[in-house]
Structure 1
Amino acid sequence: MSTEPQIFPRLAGKTVLVTGAGTGFGHEIAFRAAQEGARVGVHYNSSRAGAEKTAERIRSIGGEAELFQADIGTWDAVKQLAAEAFDAFGTVDVLVNNVGDVATEQMSWKELTQESLDRVIDVDVKGTLYMVHEFGQRMVEQGHGAIVNIGSTVVVRGSARAPQYAAAKYGLLGINKSYAAAFAPQVRVNIFAPGFMETGATLAREDWKSGRREKLIAQTPLGHIPPPEVVAGTALFLATDDASHITGAYMLADGGFNMVGA
């Protein structure tokens, strides 16, 4: 058994489904949910080995994990995923929409392709909308639920690197507010927007290795760029009872990098 402690059981007795939980931030959110007492649905599309590692880590602390595979870019697959998750658990109390394509292979707006544009919109906009729609309506029927959509600070500054990614995250704002209004008062829908995190994907980026990291740290008031586990609990805060009066909101955790006005 693992020696890692169970911390802050804010989600005791709850069921949490995390999309894209086989890698990076999704992995850390799923594990943190288990540490906080939740049964966890570990969703993946192609990262089955990663999802199995996430499930193993959850089980190592005595947690319960179920694996679910789906390409959330297609509505039929999302309908099937929702049916499978609710059948497996009986209820889904919390959905964390972590999946997002950030077009990491693209280093400049000049490299934009039709394929990349379509892929990012299909996953980040359509996929998130499908997920909120299908899981949210079931949550409304069960009388409770919370949805956390993982956003990005790119909505503050845009992205000269990948405009399609910024466009998609702006689209997420519309999805979030619309469904927060539609599902109230039974289901809350919020965005959690982390700043830069040192995930494997970020560390592998060419711009990260050639000075961007140091530049960003210099511009961040708190003076560091955290690994994803540092803000995983912050994301889950929006799903807890402490956030019971928050819906349709956008919460930023970026070390002060993008301080925005009221």
Structure 2
Amino acid sequence: MAEPQIFPRFAGKTVLVTGAGTGFGAEIAYRAAQEGAKVAIHYRSSKAGAESTAARIAAIGGEAILVQGDIGSWAEITRMADEVWAAFGTLDVLVNNVGDVSSEQMSWTELTQESLDAVIDVDVKGTLLMTHVFGERMLEQPNGGNIVQVGSTVIVRGSPRAPQYAAAKYAILGITKSYAKVLAPKVRVNTFAPGFMETEKLLNRADWKAGRRETLIAQTPMGHISPPEFVAGACLWLATDEAAHLTGGYLLADGGFNMVGA
């Protein structure tokens, strides 16, 4: 039995989610479809995952297209934009979810030139270029648009495991604020920080299996680490009319773990 649509906040809207073949991106894409959106599912190499996300959306009567590309490349981003506008005619919401977290790296001492370049290319250059190219096109639309960057709470405490990841996620705040000013008032740009989420990748990480999970749960007031689908709606809220006066912002949803002060 197909699941019913919930809170139709995106009825008649179009949404593109990057890295939507797996993890948080897949859940954001599915949630957007549940809320009435036509969804573009971006992937780089996870074609099977993207097809799975599309099948889940089709199963609830939703509409989805697949968009493949490397967001480290300006030329490929431009091509992807062409494909999305050709398919939908408009794009209301871009969720820049994709990010490299150097998940194989367990200590700062393991940093390599390759792992540094990979994170900067995807998380910083990719996010900036996606915001630049898609934001510019959204500006030309009568109703503008919304861009949501998926950030991380790693910027609060830093990362002894992978400093390049913390640096990249901090850079996303600069991208968000810059383009929030450039694209206002027609296009809003905000960052959503979900904290730890129990994705398949995290569950399989060596440090997670070795007791880190239990330590973090003990330090989280809400008493659990959320699955990605639990916070997908909060991420998309930034692109709703309810958040119409919010741009250049940073929304934290981590169960109270970081308690960032104003």
* TM norm. shorter chain > 0.5: yes
One-letter amino acid matched to 1:34 = A
CA–CA separation in structure 1 for the residues paired with 2:229 and 2:260:
24
CA–CA separation in structure 2 for the residues paired with 1:159 and 1:137:
33
TM-score (norm 2): 0.99
SS of alignment partner, residue 231 of structure 2: helix
CA–CA separation in structure 2 for the residues paired with 1:120 and 1:23:
18
Q: Deviations over 1:214-235 (max 9, x none)?
A: 0000000110001000000000
Structure 1 residue aligned with 2:256: 256
The answer for unaligned runs of 5 or more in structure 1 is: none
Structure 1 residue aligned with 2:137: 138
SS of alignment partner, residue 29 of structure 1: helix
For residues 116-155 of structure 1, the aligned pairs below 5 Å read 116-143=115-142, 144-155=144-155
1:126 Cα deviation after fit: 0.1
CA–CA separation in structure 2 for the residues paired with 1:142 and 1:8:
25
CA–CA separation in structure 1 for the residues paired with 2:261 and 2:198:
26
Structure 1 residue aligned with 2:8: 9
One-letter amino acid matched to 1:67 = L
CA–CA separation in structure 1 for the residues paired with 2:40 and 2:2:
22
1:260 Cα deviation after fit: 1.0
The answer for unaligned runs of 5 or more in structure 2 is: none
Structure 2 residue aligned with 1:18: 17
Q: Percent identity?
A: 73
Q: Which runs of 4+ in 1 moved over 6 A?
A: none
Superposition RMSD in Å: 0.6
For residues 217-232 of structure 1, the aligned pairs below 5 Å read 217-232=217-232
SS of alignment partner, residue 66 of structure 1: strand
One-letter amino acid matched to 1:135 = F
Q: Does 1:86 align with 2:106?
A: no
Q: Deviations over 1:55-105 (max 9, x none)?
A: 010010000000000000111111111111111100000000000000000
CA–CA separation in structure 2 for the residues paired with 1:249 and 1:71:
27
Structure 1 residue aligned with 2:187: 187
SS of alignment partner, residue 217 of structure 1: helix
One-letter amino acid matched to 1:180 = A
The number of residues matched between the two structures is 261
CA–CA separation in structure 2 for the residues paired with 1:149 and 1:187:
13
SS of alignment partner, residue 142 of structure 1: coil
1:173 Cα deviation after fit: 0.7
CA–CA separation in structure 1 for the residues paired with 2:138 and 2:184:
11
One-letter amino acid matched to 1:47 = S
SS of alignment partner, residue 251 of structure 1: strand
